[in-house]
Every structure is written in C-alpha cells, then in structure tokens.
Homo-oligomer: A and B are copies of this chain.
Amino acid sequence: MDNRWRVTYYVQGNEKEARAKAEDICVEQTVEFPVDLIPEGSYIRREIVGRVESLEPAPSGGGYIAVVSFDESIAGGELPQFLNAVFGNISIKPGIRMIDLDLTPGLLESFGGPRFGVDGLRQALDAHDRPILCAIVKPMGLSTDELADMAYRFALGGIDIVKDDHSLANQPFSRFEERVEKCAAAVARANRETGYNSVYMPSLIAPASEIEKRARFAKDAGAGGFLVAPGIIGFDMMRHLANSVGLPLLAHASFLGSFVVNERSGIAPRVLFGTLMRLAGADIANFPNYAGRFSFSKKDCGEIAEADAKPMPPVKPIFPAPGGGVTLSVLPEMHRFYGNDVVFLIGSDLYRRGPDLVENARDYRKMAEAV
C-alpha cells in the first residue's frame, strides 16, 4: 500500500481536453504554481504535484473519468485541508465533478469518522433488526410548549428519534435552551410511560462561538443527539462535535444542494452525503429520498447507502436517512430498497394522517416492526 489517496473525477470534454483538465487538477489542487518553475526531479515535482493515474472514457454521456492521486502528506492529517485539496479551487472550474474518494489508512485514522455508527446508535436506542424512525417537531413559529407537546406525543407513539426541524435555531418564538429543556423532559416522560428509549435531538445550526456551548447544555439537559448541518457550520465542526461532545449526530443536507444539482460539476451525492458525511463524524446522513419532493434518483440514493455501509476501517458504517416526503405507504418499498440499516425521516405525513399524533406515530412504529 502506498501513501497516496485517490480521487476520481468526471471531466468534461474530448480526450485531449479531459487530459488537460486532469493534469490541471494535479497542479491546481497542490502547488498552484507554474510546473516549469519547479526543478525537474525535485521532491515537490515528484511527490507533491498530483498524478493522473488513469483516464478512461465515461461509460455514458461523453467526457472522461480521471483518477488522480495525491501524497498523504499534503492533507497534513486535517480534514479542512483535505477538503481544500480534493475540491478547493477546482470547484470553480466548470465541467469537473468529484465522483469517488479512496483514502489512505493514515487519513482514515486521522479523521476518525462517527463516534457511534450503526451498531453504537442501535445500542443507544435499543433498536435492533429494524429500521429506525425519526420524526420532526415543527413548524417554526410554534411556542416551545407546543413543540414539547409534539415531542412527547411522538415519543409516546414509539418514534425512536424526535428531532428539531432544521429551521429551529434560537428564535424569539422558541429559544434554544428552553426548548431543549422542555423537549428533552417531554421525551423522558414518554419513555417512562412506554419503556422505550426514544431520544430528542435539538438542532445545532448555531453561531460558531455557541455551538459547543449549546451542545454541552443540551447534553446536560438530556438530549440524545444533535441535528447538524455541515454545509453551514463546516464539516470539521461536525467532526469536532463527534469527538468532543459524545452524542450521536444526524447530518442535514441544508445549503449543500449546489454541489449536487448539476451532473457535470460539484460532488456526486454518494461522495458528499456518503463518504464525506461519514468521514466527518455523522452517525446518520440525511439526503432527499428518490420518492419525495426533491430530485434525487434511485441510483443516487442507492449509492449513498452503499457509501454509508462499505468497509472503511476504522471508520464505522453509518445510517442513510432519506427524507423529504416519506409517507407510511412507501415505507415497505423503501425498506426493500434500503434494508434494515436505515433511518426513516418522516416529516409532514405524521401530521397529515390525522389529528392524533400518538396514533400516527404508533402506525409508523408498527410498520417498522413488521417490515
């Protein structure tokens, strides 16, 4: 095993253009310097500049697939510089899409990944051999008491994870600390009645100076994990929370869509919502389900779930969490598609099914236990 990590890029153009783009990536993402001014045979030219390992025609739609390798040292063992090196400047150049990542054992060790992963989260929730259910308290604008009442009802009905809507931050209609105290208490009260292990996960879409403080406050108040949005707070802040605070993390896709909406630029969903989320400490990676109101294909979703699960020791496997329009009626089909290791993120349907939220939640729990 050499000490180089590999990135696979789709590059637009004919063979000559694609080769030029691949060679440009090698320079732009490392030395960003005229190669002819670097002494031939020097360490920098030999090891630091990236290398085109292969260039093959893309299987369909034109363009080429380039595999580029980089020396482990250029990441310096730090995730921000790794992101900078895999897709920093070249993100600004059209016609380049990062479609796969293959890290060295050293980098996998450095980044660490999730603290809980699939097995750890199943233990924490006492939920084995079945899909996990996640409901969302919403809409923004409700008072803390109203949100806490919903949290209680969802937990009473057997929903495993009751999370803040990602729009709930620290607004005047529901301040963070009060909400966390009341929602965590509400879920604990439901657990005493049901014997379940439901957890409440507040949102940590919060100022950089407040995030860790809020996380520690919430942990003390009985929260069982957090919603985080790495597109907003940064991937490395999520990794830091996984290392420092010690509760499960559900990563939300907010603000990340521009990386995936165009097929010939950005980052493939499986890398962004699979590999990168996992490397950066998510235990659960949210993304838009193929059957919902966003535009992900079944292929995208299947590849994300694959990237969440594939062996990448010591980085643990994580849960895919398809959301955005999940309903009770599509659950069996989604279960066939994703298997048991999935978190179903259920939004509106839990409200839409009827006025009794406990009953609606129980329907989901029954379905999750039956599939």
Assess whether A33 is interfacial by the CB under 8 Å rule. Answer: yes
Assess whether A251 is interfacial by the CB under 8 Å rule. Answer: no
Nearest CB in chain B: distance from A175 CB, A: 9
**A169 and B78 within 8 A (CB):** yes
Nearest CB in chain B: distance from A322 CB, A: 13
- Supply 18 further A-B pairs (C-beta < 8 A) apart from A84-B229, A208-B239, A234-B237: A30-B139, A31-B140, A31-B141, A32-B166, A32-B167, A37-B352, A73-B171, A80-B205, A87-B255, A92-B257, A93-B261, A93-B295, A207-B236, A209-B243, A232-B236, A258-B266, A262-B262, A262-B265
**B83 and A255 within 8 A (CB):** yes
Contacts of A34 in B (CB 8 A): 348, 351-352
A-B contact pairs, 20 of them (CB 8 A): A31-B139, A31-B140, A33-B351, A34-B351, A47-B141, A74-B171, A75-B171, A79-B207, A81-B170, A81-B205, A81-B206, A84-B255, A91-B255, A91-B256, A207-B240, A208-B236, A208-B240, A232-B236, A258-B267, A261-B266
Contacts of A31 in B (CB 8 A): 138-141, 167
**B84 and A32 within 8 A (CB):** no
Contacts of A347 in B (CB 8 A): 32-33
**B32 and A88 within 8 A (CB):** no
Q: A84-B166, A167-B74, A265-B262 are in contact. Are A91 and B254 (CB under 8 A)?
A: yes
Nearest CB in chain B: distance from A158 CB, A: 22
Whole-angstrom CA separation of A93 from B256 in the bound complex: 11
Q: Which of A149-203 contact B (CB under 8 A)?
A: 165-167, 169-173
**A37 and B92 within 8 A (CB):** no
Contacts of A165 in B (CB 8 A): 32
**B236 and A233 within 8 A (CB):** yes
Return the CB mask of A252-282 against B: 1 if under 8 Å, else 0: 0111111111100111000000000000000
**B209 and A244 within 8 A (CB):** yes
Contacts of A262 in B (CB 8 A): 94, 261-262, 265
Whole-angstrom CA separation of A79 from B233 in the bound complex: 10
Nearest CB in chain B: distance from A171 CB, A: 4
Contact of A256 among B92, B244, B256 (CB under 8 A): B92
Contacts of A332 in B (CB 8 A): none
**Number of A positions contacting B (CB below 8 A):** 82
**A208 and B237 within 8 A (CB):** yes
Assess whether A337 is interfacial by the CB under 8 Å rule. Answer: no
- The interface centre, meaning the residue of A74, A208, A256 with most chain B CB atoms within 10 A of its CB, is A208
Nearest CB in chain B: distance from A290 CB, A: 13
Q: A205-B84, A257-B93 are in contact. Are A139 and B237 (CB under 8 A)?
A: no
Assess whether A48 is interfacial by the CB under 8 Å rule. Answer: yes
Contacts of A235 in B (CB 8 A): 232
